[in-house]
């Protein structure tokens, strides 16, 4: 079937790639060992530091986010090391599964998929670990499967208060360049990121922002590593090159995306995401539906996961929306499969895109026969208008 007009890609990543970035991606590929490439990579390696809010190095792999997860673990840890992880949702579970497969001893704190990491529990676990067997605390900043954002600064403080030397590793895959995140100020040792969400790029780049402590750990860690080895990257990056063929065109796109984020200003980017998230929550509340995130201080600004009324299929609803309005909404993953749908409101996005998205959801609720009240779009529009001047 032919669909006229633009597809609405409202999953929480990959996100809509803006035209400026698409144009940058379409430039001819150049010699990745020549001087023009070295200038490009110096620009993006530097620009990434500003996006991760760090003065330390950021490593860029041609990879998905999963690759960047693996790089974080294999560079800093040794087989048999203990790591502390938290079941905040599907992605935290996948990272835990990877750690276990790599031979790490994972202490996985169970969760209900409606809350983030409790800093009090971090303190408790670390205080009890008198022998400092735990080598790292690994947290997903924004759990994309649930729309819950953990409080990294408070987790850092809990670690400091416990005077525990474990490293802190944070997955910012769906928060980077969308929700305030400060690698250096928050004392994070490895920050994991990727290209296809707040950075407004297609999938294909994975990032590790690293602290001095993480670099020191990488010199003694004994986990086998080859492709993911930071050492080769540091060496080649000094001169603006990569140890193997980099994703040249994605790096053109990255340079453009960093420029756009900086033209808007990171603080305004974060405020825009906060505002769109609040407007979305007002729509959900007017529809009389429930948000999966149970604690308002952990509401995500990049996506909202909405619970389907008991006994109704979230996937059937999403199918209706796709069929009638050519809009993709995020599906429920893992334990909440078919029970929630997710509205992505991150990346290259504005008020009218949000209004269109919410209109598609509201009409879809009627067409799919989901009991709800009207007025969600109106509630969101009222909030957008009220806050227009401040934005
Ligand atoms: C929070 C989070 N971590 C990790 C991943 C895995 O990234 P990828 O699918 O790019 O490998 C995702 C993917 O959506 C994610 O949202």
pLDDT at 100 over 90: yes
66 Cβ below 6 A of ligand 1: yes
pLDDT at 254 over 80: yes
Residue with tokens 């090391």: 81
**168 pLDDT band (50/70/90 cuts)?**
very high
pLDDT at 343 over 80: yes
**2 pLDDT band (50/70/90 cuts)?**
confident
Over residues 274-286, mean pLDDT: 98
CA 56 centroid distance within chain: 20
Q: What is the DSSP string of 60-80?
A: EEES-HHHHHHHHHHHH--TT
> pTM above the 0.95 mark?
yes
Pairing type for strands 340-344 and 327-331 reads: antiparallel
**381 pLDDT band (50/70/90 cuts)?**
very high
Q: H or E element: which one contains 83?
A: strand 82-86
171 Cβ below 6 A of ligand 1: yes
Pairing type for strands 105-109 and 82-86 reads: parallel
CA 243 centroid distance within chain: 26
220: helix, strand or coil: helix
Q: What per-residue confidence (pLDDT) applies to 345? A: 98
Q: Write the residue with the smallest CA distance to atom 8 of ligand 1.
A: 65
Q: Write the residue with the smallest CA distance to atom 9 of ligand 1.
A: 65
Structure tokens at 215: 């670099």
Show Cβ contacts of residue 274 under 8 Å, excluding neighbours closer than 6 positions.
Answer: 301
Torsion angle (degrees, nearest 10) of CA 230, 234, 240, 244? -40
Structure tokens at 171: 């997955």
140 Cβ below 6 A of ligand 1: yes
Q: What per-residue confidence (pLDDT) applies to 127? A: 98
- Cβ–Cβ under 8 Å, residues 139 and 155: yes
Taking only the tens place, the pLDDT of each residue in 28-83 is 999 999 999 999 999 999 999 999 999 999 999 999 999 999 999 999 999 999 99
- Reported in sequence order, the residue ranges of 195-270 that DSSP labels E, i.e. its strands, are 205-210
Residue with tokens 């200003």: 265
pLDDT at 1 over 80: no
Number of separate helices (H) and strands (E) present in the chain: 13, 14
210 Cβ below 6 A of ligand 1: no
Taking only the tens place, the pLDDT of each residue in 196-226 is 999 999 999 999 999 999 999 999 999 999 9
Question: DSSP label at 334?
Answer: G
């Amino acid at each position: 079937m032919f669909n006229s007009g633009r597809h609405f890609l409202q999953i929480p990543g990959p996100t809509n790639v803006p035209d400026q970035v698409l144009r940058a991606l379409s430039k001819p590929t150049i010699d990745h060992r020549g001087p023009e490439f070295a200038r490009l990579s110096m620009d993006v390696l530097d620009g990434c530091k500003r996006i991760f809010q760090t003065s330390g190095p950021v490593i860029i792999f041609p990879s998905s986010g999963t690759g960047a997860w693996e790089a974080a673990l294999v560079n800093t840890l040794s087989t048999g090391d203990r790591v502390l992880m938290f079941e905040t949702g599907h992605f935290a579970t996948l990272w835990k599964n990877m750690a276990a497969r790599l031979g790490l001893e994972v202490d996985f704190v169970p969760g209900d998929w409606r809350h983030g990491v409790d800093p009090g529990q971090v303190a408790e676990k670390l205080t009890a670990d008198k022998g400092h067997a735990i080598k790292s605390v690994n947290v997903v900043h924004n759990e994309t499967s649930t729309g819950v954002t953990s409080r990294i600064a408070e987790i850092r403080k809990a670690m400091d208060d416990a005077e525990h030397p474990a490293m802190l590793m944070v997955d910012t895959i769906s928060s980077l360049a969308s929700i305030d995140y400060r690698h250096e100020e928050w004392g994070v040792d490895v920050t994991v990121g990727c290209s296809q969400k707040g950075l407004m790029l297609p999938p294909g780049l994975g990032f590790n922002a690293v602290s001095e402590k993480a670099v020191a750990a990488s010199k003694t860690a004994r986990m086998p590593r080859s492709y993911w080895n930071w050492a080769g990257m540091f060496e080649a990056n000094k001169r603006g090159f990569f140890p193997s063929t980099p994703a040249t065109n994605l790096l053109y796109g990255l340079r453009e995306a960093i420029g756009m984020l900086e033209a808007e200003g990171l603080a305004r980017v974060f405020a825009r995401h906060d505002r769109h998230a609040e407007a979305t929550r007002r729509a959900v509340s007017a529809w009389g539906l429930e948000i999966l995130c149970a604690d308002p201080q952990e509401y995500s600004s990049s996506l909202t996961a909405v619970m389907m009324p008991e006994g109704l299929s979230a996937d059937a609803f999403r199918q209706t929306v796709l069929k009638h309005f050519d809009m993709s909404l995020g599906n429920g993953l893992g334990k909440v499969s078919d029970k929630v749908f997710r509205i992505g409101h991150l990346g290259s996005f504005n008020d009218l895109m949000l209004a269109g998205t919410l209109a598609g959801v509201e009409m879809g609720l009627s067409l799919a026969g989901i009991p709800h009240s009207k007025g969600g779009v109106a509630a969101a529009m009222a909030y957008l208008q009220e806050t227009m001047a401040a934005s």
